[in-house]
């Protein structure tokens, strides 16, 4: 049995290994100088950021969803961006990802957001098979630009 709840500051030691696993999956290492303030903003719900976590019946965190509620030029209220979704190996196959996505939908409803959206990599077949059942794929292509550092 898994419970979905808000991320709390005392979750750092359980959340960090999940975050590290997520970053490894996407091959995107981040320094603690980014991770620590990110965690703080998620817990404090600042800058439109918040998070929900999946906790198993033994109290272990087995997944998270990081959410950004932001204004949009196409909405009188807001959009809800599911920025990060991760489920540990221990939580896979137990409908944890679906339950986290449903929790994101609840957050969006509460915020009166008019849209929930997210991105995933094309090769992420396991996740995409779930996403195809809970949302609509679009024809949008993502472009990125990074300023020189």
pLDDT tens sequence for the chain (149 residues): 899 999 999 999 999 999 999 999 999 999 999 999 999 999 999 999 999 999 999 999 999 999 999 999 999 999 999 999 999 999 998 899 999 999 999 999 999 999 999 999 888 888 999 999 999 999 888 888 889 86
Q: 77: which residues sit within 8 A by CB, 6+ positions away? A: 111, 112, 113, 114
d(CA 14, CA 93): 20
- Where residue 43 sits, what CATH number does that domain have? 3.40.630.30
pLDDT value at residue 20 = 97
Count: domains in the chain: 1
Which domain range does residue 30 map to? 2-134
pLDDT of residue 149: 65
The answer to whether 80 and 67 have CB atoms below 8 angstroms apart is yes
Specify if 142 maps to a domain: no
Tell me whether residue 144 is in a domain. Answer: no
Query: 148 lies in a domain?
Result: no
Comparing C-alpha atoms, which of 137, 135, 24, 5 is closest to residue 88?
24
With a threshold of 0.75, does the pTM exceed it? yes
User: 115: which strand partners?
Assistant: 79
147 within domain boundaries:
no
Looking at the domain assignment, is residue 20 inside a domain? yes
Residues 4 and 63: their CA atoms lie apart, in Å, by: 9
């Amino acid at each position: 049995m898994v419970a979905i709840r808000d991320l709390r500051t005392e979750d750092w030691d359980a959340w960090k290994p999940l975050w590290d696993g997520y970053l490894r999956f996407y091959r995107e290492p981040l320094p603690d100088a980014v991770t620590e303030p990110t965690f703080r903003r998620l817990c404090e719900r600042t800058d439109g950021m918040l998070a929900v976590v999946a906790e198993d019946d033994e109290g272990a965190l087995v997944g998270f969803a990081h959410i950004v509620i932001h204004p949009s030029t196409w909405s009188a209220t807001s959009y809800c961006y599911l920025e990060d979704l991760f489920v540990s190996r221990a939580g896979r196959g137990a409908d944890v990802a679906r339950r986290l996505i449903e929790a994101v939908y609840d957050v969006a409803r509460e915020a009166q957001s008019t849209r929930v959206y997210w991105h995933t990599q094309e090769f992420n077949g396991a996740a995409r098979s779930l996403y195809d059942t809970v949302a609509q794929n679009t024809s949008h292509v993502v472009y990125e630009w990074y300023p020189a550092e």
